[in-house]
Amino acid sequence: MRRPVARSLAVLAAGAAVVSVGAAAPPTPHERPAPHTPKVPVAVGHGGAVSSVDADASAAGIEILKKGGNAVDAAVATAAALGVTEPYSAGIGGGGYFVYYDARSRTVHTLDGRETAPLTADSGLFLENGAPIPFAEAVSSGLAVGTPGTPATWQRALATWGERGLGTVLKPAERLARDGFTVDETFRAQTAANETRFRHFPDTAELFLPGGELPVVGSTFKNPDLARTYRELRREGVDALYRGDIGRDVVTTVNKPPVDPDSGWNARPGELSARDLAGYRTKSQPPTRTSYRGLDVYSMAPSSSGGTTVGEALNILERTDLSEASDVRYLHRFIEASRIAFADRGRWVGDPAFEDVPTRELLSQRFADSRACLIEDDAVLSSPLAPGDPRDPRPCASGGEAAPTTYEGDSTTHLTTADRWGNVVSYTLTIEQTGGSGITVPGRGFLLNNELTDFSFAPANPAVHDPNLPGPGKRPRSSMSPTIVLDRYDRPVVALGSPGGSTIITTVLGTLTGFLDRGLPLVDAIAAPRASQRNTARTDLEPGLYDSGLRQDLEAVGHSFRENPEIGAATAVQRLPGGAWLAAAETVRRGGGSAMVVRPAR
């Protein structure tokens, strides 16, 4: 996609220029803007690197690296800062997945910090009178809130691999919450998109709709409640949430959502308990591992489906020389491999504490080959496609009924860090959809997740076992795909990830194949227009592809498309010779990302 990608990047860059000019609405007279850190999508240098969607958050990670912290310390500092500047995507009210490369042992480790259902939950969690609750109603309710895993993830990562403690790495985020950040067009737009439901909850409206109005672009947004919450976590540790006052406030809020009685909103209560919080644990588990083009691709094992689904798609593509394929053949093969991998994901992947997930078999080359033979260059597979059986792979065979892909919120955020010792972190964290549940914990300054809506409300296909139904203490299936790629000497090549719900998987897959197979520079592989097929009748295309001649060529083969204005928002780091790092982020999506290094190269 060399020439089409270049054309699309030119269009996207022009669009970014228009947005930046139009976004400079002046602050009101009584508001003094916070110092503004400019966004740069690519940076090269030594001493370590940080890439995130936000400049203030990336700067927090760089601050910790400059003070002697390592990649883990910088990742937690960046994540905490994103809880301030990206509160609709992440924060201590949510969860995520943490992938760490240890340079000394040249090994990859992971932490599953996914939210869990209350111990009272069962498969009928989202059913009323035998029928599923409307999704839009479930989202903004206490019923949707899972036990947060983010604070526990931070504590476990720092205690296991970090050089600094929570009391140190939360300081930049606490300062940012206290002093404020500059509102940009993305923050205002996300607030506007949630304005109606934010007004259902007085504490949320008071925080994010100051004076009853949308925040003004260019004004300073402060969150003193969150600053105090971070200070409490710094002093008391994460037990302040899992066994202390913060936790008691969370439980009260979930079980009796503070809704405006005049709104008419039915904010269904949850059943979260102090026992749920006190019993929460992150899971340390082996990563998934896939061999691709002589490299080893490591990612998250279930409860996330990211590692198995990206890995299976890569295995399917292994037999095709994508570096020499035409643009049409590359995209066709990419789309079909994604379709097949999602078909198998829907049938087999859930929380392994509750489901028998054949992780090893899903990632076997033998199974991938048995599925790859379904792909023909002059025809398109129909969706929803039935799954194969990884335990008994037979060439071109599908087993049982198809399980359509269920909806996942498209928010979330991703960050990537590296340090001067060569350690790397790829970390995806979330509160589910943009704005999470919409419920702010009173006096605490953070939104609660609506992560339990990632469960299937009812079996997608009654004839097929659904591994993603709710259960007591169960983790809902995720698509988060924090990924680290190593060379044959077990040294990092690239680390990356993205937000975007189920499109996370195709975003990571597309960025990897663009970088590894198509020879695109990392920042261009991130910026390239995206396609996302998730075992549905139509494939999502961003405008750069939808408006190109490639769409007509693919439609001639039999593909069907719908336009999606924006898919994902990736960040990445790349190891360069001589101990240097390249950090890369989005050029345009979500207002552009922020790549920084400790000591920039000239």
Per the annotation, does 501 bind a ligand? yes
SS3 327: helix
- Taking a C-beta distance cutoff of 8 angstroms, is the pair 198, 215 a contact? no
pLDDT above 90 for 30: no
- Please indicate, yes or no, if residue 508 is contained in any of the structural domains: yes
Is residue 36 in some structural domain? yes
Q: Give kind and range of the element (H or E) at residue 372.
A: helix 365-372
Query: How far from the centroid of its chain's Cα atoms is residue 519's Cα?
Result: 25
DSSP assignment of 66-103, as one string? Answer: HTT--HHHHHHHHHHHHHHHSTTT-STTSEEEEEEEET
Q: In whole angstroms, what is the distance from residue 499 CA to residue 432 CA?
A: 10
d(CA 1, CA 488): 28
Question: What kind and span of H or E run contains 427?
Answer: strand 424-430
The answer to whether 114 is annotated as binding is: yes
CA angle 500, 190, 58 (to 5 degrees): 65
First-to-last alpha carbon distance for the chain, in angstroms, is 31
* Predicted local confidence at residue 504, as pLDDT: 97
- 3-state helix, strand, coil split of the chain in percent (to 5) is 40, 15, 45
499 is a domain residue? yes
pLDDT for the residue numbered 418: 98
pLDDT in tens, 472-495: 999 999 999 999 999 999 999 999
Q: Flag whether 281 is marked binding.
A: no
Beta bridge partners of 127: 132
Stretch 212-221: mean pLDDT: 97
How confident is the model at residue 463, as a pLDDT?
Answer: 77
- Domain-located, residue 565: yes
What is the mean pLDDT of the segment spanning 23-44?
57
> Using CA atoms, how far apart are residues 423 and 230, in angstroms rounded to an integer?
26
Q: Give the 3-state secondary structure of residue 192.
A: helix
* 260 annotated ligand binder: no
pLDDT at 465: 87
How many helices (H) and strands (E) are present in the chain, helices listed first?
21, 20
**For residue 168, what is the enclosing H or E element?**
helix 166-169
- 339 occurs within a structural domain: no
With 0-12 CB in 10 A as exposed, 13-18 as middle and 19+ as buried, what is 500? buried
What per-residue confidence (pLDDT) applies to 408? 66
| Greater model confidence, 478 or 22 | 478
The whole-number pLDDT of residue 16 equals 32
| Average pLDDT of span 236-259 | 98
Residue 177 in domain: yes
Alpha-carbon span 108 to 407, nearest angstrom = 30
User: CA dist 70 to 49, 83, 163, 416, Å?
Assistant: 10, 20, 6, 12
Alpha carbon 405 to its chain centroid, in Å, reads 17
Pick from 345, 366, 339: nearest CA to 357: 345
φ and ψ at 540, to 5 degrees? -75, 135
* % the chain with pLDDT above 90: 90
- 59 pLDDT above the threshold of 70: yes
Closest listed residue to residue 36, CA positions, set 54, 22, 11, 61: 54
Q: Is residue 544 part of a domain?
A: yes
- What residue type is 366 in one-letter code? R
At residue 11, the pLDDT reads 32
d(CA 93, CA 437): 10
* Domains held by the chain: number: 1
- Res 541 pLDDT > 50: yes
**What span, in angstroms and rounded, lies between the C-alpha atoms of 136 and 126?**
12
Active site residues: 412
Instruction: Please report, for the domain that includes residue 32, its CATH number.
Output: 3.60.20.40
Question: Is 479 annotated as contributing to ligand binding?
Answer: yes
pLDDT of residue 397: 77
For residue 580, what are the CA distances in angstroms to 72, 230, 415, 424, 492? Answer: 18, 33, 18, 13, 12
- Domain extent for 213: 2-284+407-600
pLDDT at 25 over 50: no
Question: What is the percent of the chain where pLDDT is above 70?
Answer: 92
| Banded model confidence at residue 563, pLDDT cuts 50, 70, 90 | very high
Compute the mean pLDDT over every residue in the chain, rounded to the nearest whole number.
92
Residue 133 has what pLDDT?
96
CA-CA distance, 103 to 419, in Å (whole number)?
A: 10
Q: How confident is the model at residue 289 (pLDDT cuts 50, 70, 90)?
A: very high
Q: Is residue 327 domain-resident?
A: no
Residues with Cβ within 8 Å of 161's Cβ and at least 6 positions away in sequence, in order, are 70, 72, 100, 102, 109, 423
Who has greater pLDDT, 10 or 180? Answer: 180
Helix (H, G, I), strand (E, B) or coil at 280: coil
Q: What is the pLDDT of residue 36?
A: 59
Contact 572, 495 (CB under 8 A): yes
* Model confidence pLDDT, tens digit, residues 392-425: 999 987 667 776 666 665 679 999 999 999 999 9
pLDDT class of 19 with cuts at 50, 70, 90:
very low
Q: Which amino acid is at 447?
A: L
Residue with the larger pLDDT of the pair 408 and 33 = 408
Q: Where is 573: in which H helix or E strand? A: strand 571-575
Global model pTM greater than 0.85: yes
